[in-house]
Amino acid sequence: MKAWLPAVALGGLLAMLALVALLALEPRAAPTAAERVDEIARGLRCPDCAGLSVADSPTSSAQEIRRQIDDLVAGGATDAEVRDHFVARYGDWILLAPASPVVWVIPFAVVVAGAAGLGAWLIARRRGVAPSPPTTLSAEERRRLHEEAEALDA
């Protein structure tokens, strides 16, 4: 492995982290009520269509849910309170994104565990097939080998 490779990798990682921090810390204007309604509607499942959000669906129930979100936001409800209003009627099913933080962590945990397992396996394998020291033949063995080879030739 090239000696400068870890340094380059570390530099790249630091640059990426700095970029993420910059994006996360960038000051943003508070969303308007209309933006909040749209954001909430995009996270709720349309009750009577297949795989569409309330924001994307033209059905009358989706329209009514959008109107209710509008009312709730105008009435001062927080985003979580608006979602809870619909979860109380439809259950977690109405949410397009899982509410439990555990669900978000599982894929990353599986990837990390898989990488660790693969790494451990590769290291173990490398140790296992380390080149064995060259064997030296005794004079007796050398003589027998010679004999066997001649017997084969004959």
Partner 1 sequence: MRHLRWLLVPLLVIPLGWLLFTGFGRDPREVASPLMGRPAPAWTLTSLDGETLSSEDLVGRPYVVNFWASYCIPACVDEHPVLAAAHEQYGDELEIVGVLYSDAPADAEGFLARYGDAGYPHLVDPDGRLAIEFGVTGPPESYFVDADGILRAKRFGPLTDALMADHLATILPSASR
List 93, 112, 142, 146, residue binding partner 1 (CB under 8 A): 93
Give the whole-angstrom CA distance, residue 53 versus residue 73.
18
Angle at 114 between CA 112 and CA 115, to 5 degrees: 65
Q: Report how many residues bind partner 1 under the rule CB under 8 A.
A: 16
Q: Does 68 bind partner 1 (CB under 8 A)?
A: yes
- Does the protein bind partner 1 through residue 78 (CB under 8 A)? no
Q: Which stretch binds partner 1 (CB under 8 A): 24-32, 75-83, 85-93, 139-147?
A: 85-93
Per rule CB under 8 A, is residue 67 in the interface with partner 1?
A: yes
Contact call for residue 61 and partner 1 (CB under 8 A)? yes
CA end-to-end span of the chain, whole Å? 51
CA distance 87 to 93: 8
Which are the contacts of 117, defined by CB distance < 8 A and separation ≥ 6? none
Positions in the binding site for partner 1 (CB under 8 A): 47-48, 59-61, 63-65, 67-68, 87-91, 93
